[in-house]
A and B are shown apart, each in its own frame.
Chain A
């Protein structure tokens, strides 16, 4: 281990956890003058088995629903104490604690304009409690509460476009990122923290984090799946200043370079049932292509 590592070994994350890698990258960029408010979820459970902790920065546990509110409290308290200068405040939460349960606290934090960077680690279901479907779960993914059966092929409905919803709050900086593109991820963290430091208000980063346990793939494929989600156009990398989508900078592969979505699906147990359903794969491919074309216009 490098001696300056702020997120240390010995945590109980599954072998191949995409989020653990993402947290390391974010803290490498944020540095030691950082306070983390962490919602309930995999990250909290795996890093703070009392009396141990994997964090070398001040860390405060929030309930499932209030990472945004707790981080806001840290911000205001530090201001009152006159110790706010030079401190980065990060709110960390999973997709369950952001898309579903923590949404109102997040929305409040954005509206009040705290200088905080909120990061959601999106592994597309409630992995910590046993892979239950979430509003972040993509269509047709099989989870324990949306199992693929003879009649219903996995989750029905769409994935909530959380970053779009957050950007609509008219905040200073919104971005999506994933671990395979580590330079891009770190650059976005740097920008987000800069926006906070300049007093322009909150920033938000949606980090796509593959999960070997929940998605049912071999643990060594975590980074490859993160890469493939981008190469297929399933997860689009972008960043935006303010609420106007015309200011959005998008990096999405053009149609001729885009990989077929089937290549992404066939690596994962949660989509295995789709391989016998070419109609659905074709429909998803069409939707992904349409989404990418619309974004790039």
Chain B
């Protein structure tokens, strides 16, 4: 969009995908895929729509999109595998490097 449109009408739905918020992170959630129990709580609670949900039928774990993840840590806090003492942690926060 070069010119400002009349009434500032935006004709590209979802165009904020052009803006990568991943550089905001200081901490980073990291998944241990074999420990994912496909509960999708992280997907449900992620404020940044930065998690591709797990597929329990296909036993496919979640995928974190680091292009947009701001590193808030809600996914790690709410992960049901993490909350269950009898299960191994699926998500952990680690410091962002570089």
Q: Is A5 an interface residue (CB 8 A)?
A: yes
Q: Tell me if B45 and A179 are in contact (CB < 8 A).
A: yes
> In the complex, which of the residues A50, A52, A220 contacts B74, with contact meaning CB atoms closer than 8 Å?
A220
Q: Tell me if A10 and B20 are in contact (CB < 8 A).
A: yes
Contacting chain B: which of A20-28, A93-101, A143-151, A251-259?
A20-28
**Which residues of chain B from 1 to 42 have a CB within 8 Å of any chain A CB?**
1, 4, 8, 10, 12-21, 24-25
- Report Cα–Cα, A296/B73, bound state, in Å: 36
Question: Which of B19, B24, B51 lies at the interface centre, i.e. has the most chain A CB atoms within 10 A of its CB?
Answer: B19
Q: Is A2 an interface residue (CB 8 A)?
A: yes
Q: Tell me if A21 and B13 are in contact (CB < 8 A).
A: no
Sample of 26 A–B contacts (CB below 8 Å): A7-B49, A8-B17, A9-B68, A10-B16, A12-B19, A12-B21, A13-B47, A13-B48, A15-B47, A21-B45, A25-B44, A47-B16, A52-B10, A52-B12, A52-B18, A52-B19, A53-B10, A54-B16, A56-B14, A57-B13, A182-B45, A212-B72, A220-B73, A220-B74, A220-B76, A224-B77
Given that A25-B44, A50-B10 are contacting pairs, would A15 and B71 also be in contact in the complex, using a CB cutoff of 8 Å? yes
Interface 1/0 per residue, B37-74 and A, CB below 8 Å:
00000011111111111000000000001011011111
Q: Is A49 an interface residue (CB 8 A)?
A: yes
Q: Tell me if B72 and A15 are in contact (CB < 8 A).
A: yes
- Report Cα–Cα, A149/B21, bound state, in Å: 37
Q: Is A18 an interface residue (CB 8 A)?
A: yes
- B50 nearest in chain A by CB position: A9
Distance between A81 CB and nearest chain B CB, rounded to angstroms: 18
Q: Tell me if A220 and B72 are in contact (CB < 8 A).
A: yes
B78 contacts across to A, CB distance below 8 A: 223-224
- Report Cα–Cα, A182/B74, bound state, in Å: 14
Q: Tell me if A51 and B47 are in contact (CB < 8 A).
A: no
- Report Cα–Cα, A92/B55, bound state, in Å: 31
- B1 nearest in chain A by CB position: A51
> In the complex, which of the residues B13, B47, B52 contacts A1, with contact meaning CB atoms closer than 8 Å?
B52
Q: Is A222 an interface residue (CB 8 A)?
A: yes
Q: Tell me if B44 and A54 are in contact (CB < 8 A).
A: no
- A220 nearest in chain B by CB position: B73
Q: Tell me if B47 and A182 are in contact (CB < 8 A).
A: no
Q: Tell me if B24 and A15 are in contact (CB < 8 A).
A: yes
